[in-house]
Structures are given as C-alpha cells and as structure tokens.
C-alpha cells in the first residue's frame, strides 16, 4: 500500500491555533493503530490560508479549520480506501 501524505501547516497562525497539538495527536494515533508506515506526516511552512487555519493537506487536498478528531477520521477513511483498492 502506498503511503498517504499528510502535510501539517506549522506557520505562526496555524501554530497558535493548535496545529502542534494536532500533529502530536495524529502521530500518536497512527503509532497506536499501526498506521505509521501507511501515513507519511510532515510539517511545512505557511500554506497562505492563515485566516482559515489550522490548515493541512491530505493527498494534495487542502483542509482548513479541522481539529484532531476530524483529521484522524479523514486519515482513517483514506487508509481504508487504499486498503480496499489494494484488495
């Protein structure tokens, strides 16, 4: 199964809106569920959508204003879809 790419904005606006905590919770969740190899998580500088933050990009699609639980649900959906496609 190819890795899913999750890019978390760590610019100052997203940082102050909690993306550091979102990043920590996502990484912990992925390790606990054994998905750390399936999802490549990385931080990035400002994504230029500061007023909509916190921001992240999942498989090239931008998501704004999501909390940790919403991000985890999105990642779980993408992993399940890839696993189903892989058969």
Q: How far is CA 18 from CA 25, 78, 85, in A?
A: 11, 23, 33
Average pLDDT of span 15-40: 88
Going by C-alpha positions, the residue among 73, 84, 83, 85 that lies closest to residue 58 is 73
Note the pLDDT tens digit of each residue in 39-78: 899 999 998 998 888 889 988 899 998 888 898 898 889 8
Split into its structural domains, the chain has a count of: 1
Torsion 71-83-30-62 (CA) sign: negative
Enclosing domain of residue 40: 4-86
CATH number for the domain including 47? 3.40.30.10
Torsion, CA 16, CA 4, CA 71, CA 23, rounded to 10:
-30
């Amino acid at each position: 199964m190819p890795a899913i790419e999750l890019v978390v904005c760590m610019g100052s606006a997203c940082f102050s809106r909690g993306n550091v905590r979102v990043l920590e919770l996502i990484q912990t969740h992925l390790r606990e569920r054994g998905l750390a190899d399936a999802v490549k998580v990385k931080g990035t500088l400002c994504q230029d959508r500061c007023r909509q933050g916190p921001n992240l990009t999942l498989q090239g699609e931008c998501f704004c204003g999501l909390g940790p639980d919403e991000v985890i649900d999105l990642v779980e959906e993408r992993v399940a879809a890839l696993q189903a496609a892989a058969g």
